[in-house]
Amino acid sequence: MKSRFLKRTVRESLQGYLFLLPALFVLLLFLVGPIFYAIFLSFHKVQLLGTTSFEFVALKNYMNIFDDLRAKIAVWNTAKYVLIVVPCQTLLAIILAATLNAGMKGEKFFRIIYFLPTLTSSAVLTLIFMWMYNQNGLINKVLDFIHLPTYNWINDPSIALYAIMAMNIWSTAPFYMVIYLAALQDIPESLYEAAELDGASAIQKFLYVTIPHLRPVTSFVVIMGIVGTFQLFDQSYIFSGGSGGPNNSTLTVVLLIYQYAFKNMGTMGYAAALAFSLAIIILIATLIQRKFSKEESLY
């Protein structure tokens, strides 16, 4: 009896491992292994010519970050980007979701329309916007038509990053809107009825019933937003043809990591150190955000 039971547990264990085998293979070779490999790389100078060679340089890669002017510019651009895009896209997502949830006709139709940018690849979106941002393009024509100043969106260093920001707020807000919509549908109707009995206006109901109930979701959306915006790459790569220009104005941390790892010779270890620092910054930003929103029931 006992051995039969034992046989069963052994068999189940084997089945468990069998089911996990493909996942474990990829997990170890391409995810967990590389994390340790990245730590190793960040302490070495890596030469890629012929056979890859490593030279131990201790903390030198990390120290170099502080002397690197382009790294400072990239960090500043990325920080500006995160601080402007995350609040804007979150707010826009709440407004759109609340509007869609107000029991309007054609809700489904609008939802389908709004979802289009989320489906479309960043490469295509960036090209479409570059076409519209053209000096002689649609956006300038419209601005001109309503007597607003026009800009050289792509080539003016003081504008280029804002052009990318506008595009990304436009393209990601609807994604978060869907998350908010799901959350809005879970708020009990009785709360609104009670507020109504107390004489609350529509705006008061929104501020005192809806917003507090959306706090856990907002926390999730802001964290996802922070993680996403810190990793800005595709748009600035395509926008600037890989350079981060004009005049480094669209240079982001990830674009800089890419350049050091794959475009420059002998700076792969430095790129790994930058990548690690980015991961730590994202982690810290996420922790701070969580502390602020005091929301532990997230998962």
Partner 1 sequence: MKKKLSFGKAFLYGILIVYAVITVIPFIWALSSSFKNLDEIVSGAINFIPKHFTFHNYKVIFVEQGLFPRWLFNSLFIATMVTLLNMFFNSMAGYALARLHFPGKRTIFVVILAVLMIPMQVTMIPNYLILKSLGWLNSYQGMIIPTMINATFIFMMRQFFVNFPKELEEAAELDGLSKIGTFFRIVLPLAKPALAAQAIFVFMGSWNDFMRPLIILSSPELFTLPIGLNTFKGQYISYWNYIMAASMVFTLPILLLYAFFSRYFIKGISFSGGK
Residue with tokens 């960090």: 75
Pick between residue 158 and residue 217 the one whose CB is nearest to partner 1.
217
Binding flag, residue 29, partner 1 (CB under 8 A): yes
The single residue among 209, 226, 251, 272 that binds partner 1, judged by CB under 8 A, is: 272
x-marked contacts with partner 1 along 132-161 as a string, rule CB under 8 A: x-x-xxx--xx-------------------
Binding flag, residue 263, partner 1 (CB under 8 A): no
The single residue among 38, 79, 84, 195 that binds partner 1, judged by CB under 8 A, is: 38
x-marked contacts with partner 1 along 96-115 as a string, rule CB under 8 A: x--xx-x-x-x---xxxxxx
Buried b (16+ CB within 10 A) or exposed e, 248-273: bbbbbbbbbbbbbbeeeeebbbbbbb
Which 174-193 residues touch partner 1, going by CB under 8 A?
Answer: 174-175, 178-179, 181-183
Structural contact between residues 44 and 57, judged by C-beta atoms closer than 8 angstroms: yes
Instruction: From 27-35, 67-75, 157-165, 192-200, give the range in contact with partner 1 by CB under 8 A.
Output: 27-35
The CA distance from 21 to 40, in Å, is: 26
Pick between residue 127 and residue 158 the one whose CB is nearest to partner 1.
127
The single residue among 81, 151, 153, 230 that binds partner 1, judged by CB under 8 A, is: 230
CB atoms within 10 A of CB 194: 12
Binding flag, residue 271, partner 1 (CB under 8 A): yes
Structural contact between residues 82 and 229, judged by C-beta atoms closer than 8 angstroms: yes
Instruction: From 71-79, 82-90, 192-200, 258-266, give the range in contact with partner 1 by CB under 8 A.
Output: 258-266
Binding flag, residue 81, partner 1 (CB under 8 A): no
The single residue among 6, 19, 204, 292 that binds partner 1, judged by CB under 8 A, is: 19
- How many residues touch partner 1 under the rule CB under 8 A: the total is 97
Pick between residue 32 and residue 211 the one whose CB is nearest to partner 1.
32
Which 195-224 residues touch partner 1, going by CB under 8 A?
Answer: 202, 216-217, 220-221
The CA distance from 171 to 118, in Å, is: 6
Nearest-approach distance from CB 213 to partner 1, in angstroms = 12
Nearest-approach distance from CB 189 to partner 1, in angstroms = 18
The single residue among 12, 72, 80, 288 that binds partner 1, judged by CB under 8 A, is: 12
Binding flag, residue 91, partner 1 (CB under 8 A): no
Pick between residue 125 and residue 161 the one whose CB is nearest to partner 1.
125
Binding flag, residue 88, partner 1 (CB under 8 A): no
Nearest-approach distance from CB 195 to partner 1, in angstroms = 16
